[in-house]
A and B are shown apart, each in its own frame.
Chain A
Amino acid sequence: MKKRIIAALLASALVMALAACGSKGTTAAPTTKAAEKTEAADKETDAKKTDAKETDAKETDAKETDAPAPDAADLPEYTLKYVEIGNQDCSRRGAVEAAISEYIKPLINASIEFQIVAWGDWSEKAITALQSGQEMDIVFTADWQHYLRSVQSGSFNALNDPDGPYGDLLAKYGNDITSTLNPAFITGTQINGVNYAVPTNKELAVPNGWLYNVDKAELYDFVPLKESEGLMKVQEFEPYLAKMKEAEPNTYPYLFSGGNGDEPWVPGFTNFGVITMVQDPDDNGNFDETIVNMWESDYAMELCKTMFDWAQKGYIHPDASLTTFNDSDIFKTGDFLIYQQPLKGNNIKAQERVNASGNNALNIDEIYGQKKVVTTTHTGGSMLAIPVTSADPERAMMYINMMHRDTDLLNMMLYGVPGEDWEIDEGDEYKRVSIINAEWSGAHGGAWTFGNTALQTPTIKEDPEKNRLLQEYALDAVPHPSLGFRFDQTNVEALVAALNNVRDAYERSLYAGAIDPVENIPKFNEEMKAAGLDEIMAEVQKQYDEWKANKEG
């Protein structure tokens, strides 16, 4: 009996200690910094717009002038441990580490070690590593990979908190990050006004829309609107889908990928799509900030009616409602007319998908269904954090900063050892990269998981202007008022789990037209209410109001 009491006491002491650690990170953050930051960011916007056009020239200059010049020799030797997301480790890692270490040694007197954690293992492996206090210097993080939770549990160092143990790291060592990054990235990834991770400089405006098969479109006289000409609605495709189905009865012309191209909602407003806001501003540019249950909207009913009708007529694949449905495979064959995808302007998504599919005969173009609006989920889609277990966060920040300045470093991280894994194709007029050994470039998470993507040299398969276009595309995007809001579901964890169970039963089937919406949407809503939807909604509303008051005050 005595032993049990002691054990219980120990356990509760441990829990309390953990709780104390968790609260430290969040409460210490003063709120005034948010305001300061936006002010500073605004000043930079103008400068940035002109910069973007001549990034390349400017960056190479910057390398010589801005580099923390006297440091390298004074710094003690250090090995940076960099945990990156990706497919699998590969046998080229050692060679790449050696090449990068040799390169950064004279600059920051450090060498580097990579650890690639597989996409599917991330929650178990990388998060366990953080919790167990394993020493790490740079860690990938994202809103879809526990960013908020890791910050709340105190796993990450604050990067621009002057009162933090290492001061304002971003200001001290992150000049190239703050001067090149679209300010929306910084504000969008703050938690209580503090950044706990450096966002990757990549596409920022990601409107939903569709890819379409140009060859099939010509065949069936389908002439969709270009992005500059306006947005389209999914229902407008019907006559052409009908034509294709009639001419090619064995195909399913509407290729379903799980979402919808003209969805009017803010993506990722909460981690469960049900509770959200209207994304696009009205004609006067005003946003509607009412928090809604999207399944009670007329839009959802109309959409699902259309999908149900299309599934009946055979425009949608009968397996589309299954999560195992492999749309990329069908995309590869080209047997479709319309394919829903999130887009990023200038036909880049279409290109990327064609390259990745390996079927270069595909002729794909884009149709847009949403306006360009910047939302939280797209600012926090890929970030790098410095965990509290790092022995030298300053050095880690120097390295992250280099990834926002140094094309040579980025190319090595991306493609491997120059001359062995890749080389610059001298015959190519844009001097793009031709890959010799794809082992390393296929092992890590890819170009969009680190640094400034505009500085990376594209491969010969890609548009030479791709990375610059991606960032420029966002310059005239409007920030949504909810930019920076992250719902913390700790208080309603059990309810959210119950809600997700109900969603699993209905959502995909409704979207894919497998079940009748007239009968099932009301049932779905009823079951969600029984699972506690109203309480969750009240919690979202409460947190949103608090967040908003905090931001403005």
Chain B
Amino acid sequence: MSKTSIAQPAKKAKKTQELNAVSPVANVIMHIAFILICMTVLVPLWVIVVASLTPEMELIEEGYKFYAKSLTPEAYGFLFREGSIIFTAYKNTIIATLVGMALSVVSISLYAYPLSRKEFRFRRFFTFVSFFTMLFNAGVVPFYFVSRQILKIDNSLFALFLPLSFSAYWVIVMRTFYTSNVPDGVIESARIDGASEWRTFIQIVLPLAKPGLATVALFSAIGIWNNFFNCMLLVDTAEHYNLQYMIYSTLSNARFLSEMATQVSSLGETIARLPTNAFRMAMAGVTMGPIILAYPFFQKYFVSGITLGAIKG
């Protein structure tokens, strides 16, 4: 649309280029470059979708292709068959993502705010406490022990989001965001007007920090959506599986079994029973689902978040 309006005057005076516009040659090159970059993302997705719709025998005989001779929804039919745990897994993932995202925005914004205030006496100490966890962690066995036997979050939806609902990295990012985007003067004026600490935080600081909060929300949502490790370690019951674990375990079983098949005589039979390639691809396609929608939703905050941080930070 805007192209035509620009093109009109350009026809009359060919040489005059619009201010700030890139040269046509650079424009073409940049377009091609970006199209190629986009292709590297889109092509694998396309292959996954096509493979998930190809009949199994054709996949075996001819491998993965960009188009299939015949299409069949068989893999999806099997995936969404009645009583399949994929429905439960979908529900679990969505609930965990939403709750976990809300929880992490609350906990991170609350933890980071005092650290950004210069008058807070213990800010160095508390910054160090959270920073320390970025460098050192106890390892898998203590994590397993604490989660299962002390917190008892195993075999529940808590296992899917609670361990991920706080992140030292985002605390530090948020702290920087507060210091650079919420001027001390604003907070001071709020106090002079009689606002309490909570009121200042909720009504003055949070609205100013919206881009930062959106960034935290987006990344924690993606983090929880994509996490299979906690589910693998802490969940034993099918009714609490999440989507990513289901796909991860299908693939890791296949890999493990094919590595072991030559050593363990009884495994040959088990390995031949593994889900088909088309089924695995259908599952990969399905797990992308709603999280793709999260990007455009957060994008407007996200972009302004980056630029704000970039100029002032």
Interface residues of A (CB under 8 A from B): 87-91, 93, 115-122, 124-125, 128-129, 131-134, 142, 144, 202-203, 206, 257-259, 267-268, 323, 326, 328-333, 341-342, 344, 349, 352-353, 355-357, 377-378, 381-382, 439, 442, 445-446, 448
Contact = CB atoms under 8 A, between A and B. Distances in A.
Interface in B42-70: 57, 60-61
A121 B263 CA distance: 18
Interface in B252-290: 252-266, 268-274, 277
Contacts of B74: none
B266 A382 contact: yes
Contacts of A128: 140-141, 144, 233
A185 B172 CA distance: 58
A356 B60 contact: no
16 contacts: A88-B250, A90-B238, A117-B236, A119-B252, A121-B249, A124-B233, A128-B141, A128-B233, A132-B149, A144-B264, A268-B263, A323-B258, A342-B268, A355-B269, A356-B269, A442-B273
Given A118-B253, A121-B232, A124-B233, A134 B148 contact: yes
Q: 3 smallest A-B Cβ distances: which pairs?
A: A120-B252, A356-B272, A120-B256
A154 to B, nearest CB: 15
B65 to A, nearest CB: 15
Max chain A C-beta neighbours (<10 A), residue from B88, B264, B266, B274: B266
Contacts of B60: 326, 329-330, 332-333
A197 B35 CA distance: 59
Contact of B85 (A90, A381, A446): A90
B253 A87 contact: yes
Interface in B223-246: 232-233, 236-239, 241, 246
Interface of B is mostly: helix
A308 B249 CA distance: 36
A231 B155 CA distance: 52
B261 A258 contact: yes
Nearest to B234: A125
B237 A206 contact: no
A91 B61 contact: no
B145 interface: yes
Contact of A342 (B57, B83, B265, B270): B265
Given A91-B85, A342-B268, A381-B266, A333 B236 contact: no
A333 B250 CA distance: 22
A377 B264 CA distance: 8
B229 to A, nearest CB: 9
Contacts of B144: 128-129, 132, 134
B263 A144 contact: yes
Contacts of B141: 128, 131-132
Nearest to A319: B63
Given A121-B249, A132-B145, A267 B270 contact: no
Contacts of A203: 265-266
Nearest to B60: A329
Nearest to A128: B144
Nearest to B229: A124
A333 B263 contact: no
Contacts of B262: 257-259, 342
Max chain A C-beta neighbours (<10 A), residue from B61, B85, B142, B249: B249
Contacts of B233: 124-125, 128
A88 B148 contact: no
A375 to B, nearest CB: 11
Contacts of A377: 263
B268 A353 contact: yes
Given A121-B232, A132-B141, A329-B60, A89 B263 contact: no
Contacts of A333: 57, 60-61
A88 B238 contact: yes
A144 B83 CA distance: 34
Contact of A93 (B238, B246, B251): B238
Nearest to B233: A125
A118 B229 CA distance: 13
A323 B88 CA distance: 33
A349 B144 CA distance: 40
Nearest to A381: B264
Contacts of B85: 90-91
Nearest to B239: A91
Nearest to B57: A333
Given A121-B249, A128-B140, A377-B263, A446 B269 contact: yes
Nearest to A378: B265
Contacts of B277: 329
A357 B145 CA distance: 41
A323 B258 CA distance: 8
A479 B205 CA distance: 77
A334 B256 CA distance: 24
Given A128-B144, A144-B260, A352 B269 contact: yes
Contacts of B257: 119-120
A328 B265 contact: no
Nearest to B269: A352
B232 A125 contact: yes
B249 A88 contact: yes
Given A88-B246, A132-B145, A357 B261 contact: no
